[in-house]
Amino acid sequence: MSGMETQIPLPTGRGATPRDQPSAIVKYQPLEGVEDPNRYQYGGFHPVTLNAVLNDRYVVRHKLGWGRFSTVWLAVDMGEGEHYMQNVAIKVGAARNGLTQETAVLERLQEPSSIVPTNVNELIPPALSSFQIHGINGIHPCLVTSVGGATLEQAKWASSQGILRLDVVRILAAQLVTAVAHVHEKGIVHGDLTLSSVLLHLPYDVNSLTHLDIVEAYGPAMLRPVQRIDGQPLTAEAPQTCVEPIRWRPVPEEITPTGARIMLADYGESWTADSQVRCDSTVPDVYQPPEARWDPRTPMSRPSDIWTLACTLWDLVAWYPLFGTWYHGNKDITAEQNAVLGKLPRGWYSQWGRKSSYRRSRFDHENRPIDPEKYPDLEGRFETVVQRCRREMGMATMEEAEKEAFLEMLRSMLKWQPAERLTADAILRSSWMKHWALPEWDRQRMIAASFDQPSGETGEVWLEDPDFFPDWLHFPV
């Protein structure tokens, strides 16, 4: 299905007619808190505006975010008539980066699962529709999905402590690994398994929110004027203003078991493992699998996801990334990995610095850290950025048996050689998953199910912090 964009009202001189040839590159003043205005060029972003009508049915109400290849908008679907209203998320892709692959991935992921114990849509956002915008900067693929809340990265660092409760860690980890196992079962490599790709479910039915509700709860959209560096008037390629993303507030100061419900999102970097070959990794350096750095001819595949997943599971429980450094350079990150996992394979070790002063100043001839406090092993890091931080903040720590099971699971995921890493299905069968994470998730699902009432009855669900939500918001069951 394809469609044109119309504006309400249509600004004078800002039509949406695509051109055959790009105009000269225009440079814009940098802005904070929004996408780079320089992406609004031929082949780049489409200048979506608030109150625009996309594909003759979606009214844009707010911005949800942006990424390398798209902007994402909160819109009202008016496609079923004036009495029908559904809030949806619309990803508007850059003209030179099609979303066809992402749409196909999401459609495949909606197929029945032998792994997911609940509705697949609870863990994977459904692809509701797709269309195209024929705009001034080219032809832009658009993907319509359900609306998610804050990312786990945002929620974690919005907390006063930056560390999640252990019961919440277990529930989130069980869902995340289950979602990844489902993705891998369908032959898909996610490619970006970090906390920023995991969305919390909103703690209410988003379709109960009218536009006035959204303004009352989250404030009006904040606009940042776009200006050209040369001081000339804006042309149709760029919007008059960039919109700051909605701040789903309050982002919980503490994620509770009730609110620990997630969706694995962001499939813009995903691909089909059996029919496509990719040898590069787009995740941040500290989450990159080592083969992406030291053997770029090796195709990235599901084992590459497993490495990144291990780093993300560590992020759930810890205050600081497993391989984090101040400088994030390749040599620095590899030094951290070397301290945790032992000596690199022979070919990689030679590339890293078998004879280099960098390596020799940090590790002895038997590959032991010269300064163990600076380069601790896995247990040392766990004690420092998990246990000690939790004790200092008055939070529960992991007991010894659970700690050993958790670290053993991570070791099995963080193998130098991709073929030696656990599969996602095997992770679900690991001791920590079977005895701690999955049972915690099962308990929470049983508690949630206890709120269910017979058809036709309504009530109100009182969550753990009733002051967390606006006064006008209630939760019909």
Residues 132 and 185 in one domain: no
Last residue of a domain, one of 214, 247, 280: 247
In a domain, residue 377? The reply is: yes
Tell me, yes or no, whether 402 lies in a domain. yes
Can you give the pLDDT at residue 247? 79
Same domain, 94 and 216: yes
Whether residue 351 sits in one domain with residue 233: no
Q: Where would I find the beta strands (DSSP E) of 230-351?
A: 241-243, 262-264, 271-272
Please give the pLDDT value at position 84: 66
Measure the CA dihedral 399/405/408/414, to 10°: -90
Asked whether residue 156 is marked as a ligand-binding residue, the answer is no
Averaged pLDDT score across all residues of the chain:
83
pLDDT tens by residue, the chain, 477 residues: 444 444 333 333 334 555 555 567 899 999 999 999 999 999 999 999 999 999 999 999 999 989 888 999 999 998 765 556 789 999 999 997 767 788 889 989 988 888 877 778 889 998 899 999 999 999 999 999 999 888 898 888 877 678 899 999 999 999 999 999 999 999 999 999 999 999 998 877 777 788 888 888 788 899 999 999 999 999 999 999 999 998 775 455 678 898 899 999 989 889 888 877 777 787 888 999 999 888 878 888 999 999 999 999 999 999 999 998 766 567 788 888 888 998 888 777 776 665 566 666 788 777 788 887 888 999 999 999 999 999 999 999 999 999 999 999 999 999 999 999 999 999 999 999 999 999 999 999 888 877 654 444 443 333 334 343 333 333 332
Q: Is residue 16 part of a domain?
A: no
Give CA 172 to chain center in angstroms.
14
Q: What is the pLDDT, as a whole number, of residue 456?
A: 43
Answer whether residue 466 is part of any domain: no
**Quick one: 229 and 364 in the same domain?**
no
User: Which residues have C-beta within 8 Å of that of residue 266, sequence separation ≥ 6?
Assistant: 67, 192, 196, 197
pLDDT score, position 477: 27
Report pTM: 0.83
pLDDT of residue 318: 94
In a domain, 23, yes or no: no
For residue 422, the domain's CATH number is 1.10.510.10
Instruction: Based on the fold, state whether residues 138 and 39 are members of the same structural domain.
Output: yes
DSSP line for 257-276: GGG--EEE---TT-EETTT-
Q: Are 173 and 437 in contact (CB under 8 A)?
A: yes
Are the C-beta atoms of 243 and 63 separated by less than 8 Å? yes
E strands present in 78-232: 86-93, 127-135, 138-145, 188-189, 198-200, 223-225
Residue 336 lies in a domain: yes
Three-state SS for 372?
Answer: coil
Are 313 and 365 found together in one domain?
yes
Last residue of a domain, one of 219, 247, 275: 247
Mark whether 209 and 317 lie in a shared domain.
no
**pLDDT tens for residues 67-87?**
888 999 999 998 765 556 789
Residue 45: predicted pLDDT:
96
In the 8-state DSSP scheme, what is residue 343?
Answer: S
Residue 55 CA to residue 71 CA, distance in Å, equals 16
**Is the N-terminal amide bond of 470 cis, ω within 30° of 0?**
no
Distances (CA, A) of 226 to 13, 40, 229, 350: 17, 11, 10, 49
Q: How far is the C-alpha of 120 from the C-alpha of 113, rounded, in Å?
A: 7
CA 205 → CA 121, 193, 201, distances in Å? 14, 26, 10
Two tokens, residue 193 = 């398994």
For the chain, the helix, strand and coil percentages under 3-state DSSP, each to the nearest 5? 35, 15, 50
Q: What tokens were used for 214?
A: 């959204």
Structural domain including 74 reads 28-147+204-247
Do 47 and 186 belong to one domain? no
Residue 4 lies in a domain: no
How much is the pLDDT for 25? 85
Number of domains forming the structure of the chain: 2
The reply to whether 352 and 390 lie within a common domain is: yes
pLDDT value of residue 62: 94
Rounded to 10 deg, the angle between the 438-449 and 166-185 helix axes is 100
CATH of the domain at 236: 3.30.200.20
Assigned domain for 213 exists: yes
Q: Are residues 267 and 136 in the same domain?
A: no
Q: Residues 467-477: pLDDT tens digits?
A: 433 333 333 32
Residues 341 and 265 in one domain: yes
Q: Are 263 and 198 in contact (CB under 8 A)?
A: yes
Looking at the fold, whether 75 and 100 belong to one and the same domain comes out as: yes
